[in-house]
Amino acid sequence: MHPSSSSRYGRFRFDAGSLALNFVATVRHRGSRPRDLLSSPEGLVRWFGLAAPHIAVSAVSAGDHEKALLLREAVHRTFRSLIRNEPPDPRDVDLVNEWASHPPSHPRIETPSLEVRWVCADPVGSVLSEIARDAVTIAGSGARSRLKMCDSESCRMLFLDNSPPNRRRWCAMSICGNREKIRSFRSRKKESERKGPSSEGK
Ligand SMILES: [Zn+2]
């Protein structure tokens, strides 16, 4: 892969609007050439460290890695169905509900330092639980109407539109919005060049 494209699409995105949506966004360019940034357990450890720094996850087993990706894709399909006003697959919803019922971590204040420590029996499971709880909250609340899919055919990232008018079309104006603006400007220019000056005014 070309180094510049690798760095451009190799970055995690944390601007999807919520934990569950950021997790789903770890597959970049779902609309064209999907690139899974969590294809290895190490990638998942890195993402956990950035997305849920309060929970120390130092390693992920192959089994937990597989479970995490199954949850991620179930959340993706569920949200995508909601965006399309279609009923989500009950198997996906069941999996999300199951993870949401998993015990999450809880904060504990230490004495005498008064530092907060997050306690959990199963670090990976507790992060997946937080992701699933977030997904359940979005799917079952008014936030559902703010779920969007990026208009860029190649990107198709899911995001929460928190803008007051709720009319966002792009995952980010600075990424897909600008690219689309340039593309439509170029195609308009080409079109006017093709028609040529003689066609003007006709
Ligand atoms: Zn996009």
Q: What pLDDT, in 10s, does the model give residues 111-164?
A: 999 999 999 999 999 999 999 999 999 999 999 999 999 999 999 999 999 999
Distance of CA 175 from the midpoint of ligand 1 (Å): 7
Q: How many CB atoms lie within 10 A of CB 186?
A: 10
Rounded CA separation 195/45 (Å) = 55
Q: How far is CA 155 from CA 25, 53, 54, 68, 181, in A?
A: 10, 27, 30, 22, 15
Binning pLDDT at 50, 70 and 90, where does residue 37 land? Answer: very high
Distance of CA 98 from the midpoint of ligand 1 (Å): 30
- Tell me the average pLDDT across 33-45: 96
Distance of CA 16 from the midpoint of ligand 1 (Å): 10
Distance of CA 194 from the midpoint of ligand 1 (Å): 30
State phi, psi for 104 to the nearest 5 degrees: -85, 175
Distance of CA 167 from the midpoint of ligand 1 (Å): 14
Q: What is the CATH number of the domain that holds 130?
A: 1.10.3300.10
Q: How far is CA 134 from CA 28, 64, 88, 195, in A?
A: 20, 19, 16, 52
Distance of CA 176 from the midpoint of ligand 1 (Å): 5
Full residue range of the structural domain in which residue 118 is found: 12-171
Rounded CA separation 48/71 (Å) = 14
The answer to whether residue 101 is domain-embedded is yes
The answer to whether residue 5 is domain-embedded is no
- The first and second tokens of residue 189, run together, are 């220019």
Distance of CA 157 from the midpoint of ligand 1 (Å): 5
Binning pLDDT at 50, 70 and 90, where does residue 70 land? Answer: very high
The answer to whether residue 43 is domain-embedded is yes
- pLDDT at residue 8 in the model: 64
Distance of CA 149 from the midpoint of ligand 1 (Å): 8
Binning pLDDT at 50, 70 and 90, where does residue 194 land? Answer: confident
Please count the structural domains in the chain.
1
Ligand 1 ion: residues within 5 Å (CB): 150, 152, 155, 157, 171, 176
Binning pLDDT at 50, 70 and 90, where does residue 191 land? Answer: confident
The answer to whether residue 79 is domain-embedded is yes
The answer to whether residue 184 is domain-embedded is no
Residue 199 pLDDT > 50, yes or no? no
- Tell me the average pLDDT across 28-36: 94
Rounded CA separation 152/202 (Å) = 34
Residue 3 pLDDT > 50, yes or no? no
Q: Which residues pair with 117 in a beta bridge?
A: 108
137-176 b/e with 16+ CB inside 10 Å = b?
ebbeeebeebbbbbebeebbbbbbbeeeeeebebbbeebb
Rounded CA separation 131/22 (Å) = 9
What is the secondary structure of 122-142 as a DSSP string?
-HHHHHHHHHHHHHHHHHTSG
The answer to whether residue 3 is domain-embedded is no
The answer to whether residue 61 is domain-embedded is yes
The answer to whether residue 185 is domain-embedded is no
